[in-house]
Amino acid sequence: MSPNPNLPSYSPAIQSLLPMLYVAWADQVLSPSEAKLLQIKLKDLPFLSAGDRELLKSWINPSNPPDRELFQHWRILIHNRSAESTAEDRKSLVDLGLEMARAAALREDGAWWTNPETRQALETLENELDTIQIKTYQSLFPKPLGEEPSGKINRAALTAILDDDYADIRNRMRVVLTDPVFEYQNFRSKEAYRDQVLRWCRYLADQGLGILSYPEADGGENDMGQYAAVFEMLGYFDLSLSIKFGVQFGLFGGSIQWLGTEKHHRKYLEDVGKLNIPGCFAMTETGHGSNVRGLETTATYDQESGNLIVHTPHHEAGKEYIGNALHGRMATVFAQLIVGGENQGVHAVLVPLRDENHHLLPGIKVEDNGYKMGLNGVDNGRIWFDQVSVPRENLLNRFGDIDSDGNYTSPIKNPSKRFFTMLGTLVGGRVCVPRAGLSATKSGLTIAIRYAHRRRQFGQDFTSPETLLLDYPSHQLRLMPLLAKTYALDFGLTFLTKKYLARNAESIREIETLAAGMKSYATWFTTHSLQQCREACGGKGYLWENRFADLKNDTEIFTTFEGDNTVLMQLVAKGLLTAFQNEFHEEGTMGVLRYLGRRVSTSLAERNPLTIRNTDPEHLRDSAFQIAAFRYREDRLLYSVSQRLRAKIKAGTKSYDAYLECQPHLLKLAEAHVERVIIEAFTQEVKRTADPAIKAVLKLLCDLYALHTIELHKGWYLEANYIESNKSKAIRREVMLLCSQIKEYSLDLVEAFAIPEKVLGAEILT
């Protein structure tokens, strides 16, 4: 691209200053005080003519910044010069300016531009400009887009990156799942399906896979990371199996591990891990799902017998949608603990359901939930308790206990803090569920993309070869952004898992917030992506034999269990607003809002004209621009919703009502937060990758995820004046280009998921 011929050429003196002027405006909007500083300093430069001074004066007027065309003209002049120079020639703005001046002075007296006094004067000015935070020096030089990978990429090496620290257990699971015991069957009854899933679970337990996360003293390996990898890998095969495995070993066993104490661990965990005690996690009630604090089941301490009496006070207080309800012999029941007539809040109690002959015990009533949209291999049911007596020792007492005299004690005196601490120990489910959902997404994408590489439809005319589906830009635009987002979520979920495994008392609340957001964002994506993949396979995708029926139906509930996604995203936003305090109340809210206002008001006042206008591909594919755009959206939404809440509360609206009125804004804030975490995790993974070809492909995927996400939010960015319409169009063009580039590597990218062919199980690919 060449400069506009209608724009003037500049004197050597002007060109010596052009890099500094460009950066000064590109870095930020100049304030009047900064412009005044520049005007004063420019007067001291002896090599400027009167005409030069007038021109410069017009360029440093804060009320009339340089327009886009002038910016582009400057940029081209600087880039043309810097492209011809070496890094040694342009260590600073002064070096580049002097080089431009010398080049422009070839037919004039160039003595000024070799004079040490000229350099000193320019360096003095550069030092002064440093006080107004010039930080974009490197943006002056052409930044290559990066080499595109040549030929095929090393699939095994890419698989190793995706497998991360758990390649051994993942490879073991790839072998396990190809065992003849694991065969796809089109079950015609839920009972037959459930029995098969139970047999599969026993097979896995016999392989020692159910006990991986439990303490070594109880027969386990104390490795939650391995357990999460197993759960994820099961999602490639049968999601009913994955969920039943999670209910038994994750929820039921996990509740004993994290809410119980050593006596419970010694008594139960090994048998739970071997599936000798099938169990349930009985939290949800018909009348209370997301509102755990509002549960109505009671566990009342009976002083006379020394037992706990577990009771369902009315029909709607029955436990609802409980996995393992038909197979389980015991349940962890969440109930209001009442001791000496005082309600101590929700606690967990182990309640036997059936005897060794699988007969229901007295006072226990169980009903089958019946057929569901999906996951019919999981035996969900309803449970009611009629004055069921269990020993006091069955109280999982890590956070609250009853002594032999009937006194309640707890290491956490504050009931609210105790409740949230208890729930925080169970966050592992929200870490694992989106990983299994993403396995379903990977299966769907592998089927759809491989099919698109072989299926042909239409041609230029009746004599021409028909066109591959994936050669159609519309098909690329349908599938390639899904592939990019799948990789982005993989790295984002790995980031979350590592944070969870390294958690401590200080970080747990942050992890709870992130887990809630990632679970919601990832499972919503699973639902969306599988629909797109099914449609991309046409009528073939509708056949049961091609997996989409089960993949879609089984993952539909992922947006609801382990927390309704919309509710969880509100918790994310609330967590962002209250990150620095333990409890939420009205007075604290005002403090939070004032804090947030101070935190981001300065950054929101800054607008970068260059960012708004720049349409160059190297800029759009620059990770610094991408991350800045994601951060800006999060910060801007954080600030705006805090302002809305502050205004409503100040006007007399109660905190609860104010939050209700701001729900849509809170959900957008939560989304922006999760997307920012994901793009940062993806960018870091690209930086860590050593293999040049894989690094280049991952950068393409990262660029597509970033730009496609910005495009999805283009209305917001345009309203916020963060981009202009021409930049929005440039982003759309870049997304299309990236889709066509990634298409060339899409087979390698889905094959790197390393899903065994038998497990993928789609007839469409045979």
Tokens describing residue 507: 């970080």
CB 14 within 8 A of CB 70: no
DSSP structural state of residue 107:
T
Amino acid at 219: G
Tokens describing residue 430: 């929200």
* Of the candidates 359, 291, 365, the residue with the CA atom closest to the CA atom of residue 322: 365
Radius of gyration of the chain (CA): 31
- Could you give the CA distance from residue 432 to residue 654 in angstroms, rounded to a whole number? 36
CB 334 within 8 A of CB 297: yes
Count CA atoms closer than 13 A to 191's CA, side-chain side.
1
- Could you give the CA distance from residue 366 to residue 348 in angstroms, rounded to a whole number? 19
Beta bridge partners of 385: 364
Q: By three-state DSSP, how is residue 491 classified?
A: helix
Distant-in-sequence, close-in-space partners of 86: CB < 8 Å, separation ≥ 6 = none
Helix (H) or strand (E) holding 720: none
Mark whether 680 is an active-site residue: no
Q: By three-state DSSP, how is residue 465 classified?
A: coil
Tokens describing residue 357: 């002959």
Three-state helix/strand/coil letters over 536-578: HCHHHHHCHHHCHHHHHHHHHHHHCCCCCHHHHHHHHHHHHHC
Number of H helices, E strands in the chain: 31, 13
Backbone angles phi, psi at 456, to 5 degrees: -115, 150
Residue position matching structure tokens 């393992």? 324
Look at strands 330-339 and 279-282 and give their pairing. parallel
Q: Which of 320, 562, 685, 734 is catalytic?
A: 562
Residue position matching structure tokens 């900064």? 34
What is the Cα 579 distance to its own chain's centre? 18
CB 247 within 8 A of CB 281: yes
The residues carrying an active-site annotation are 562
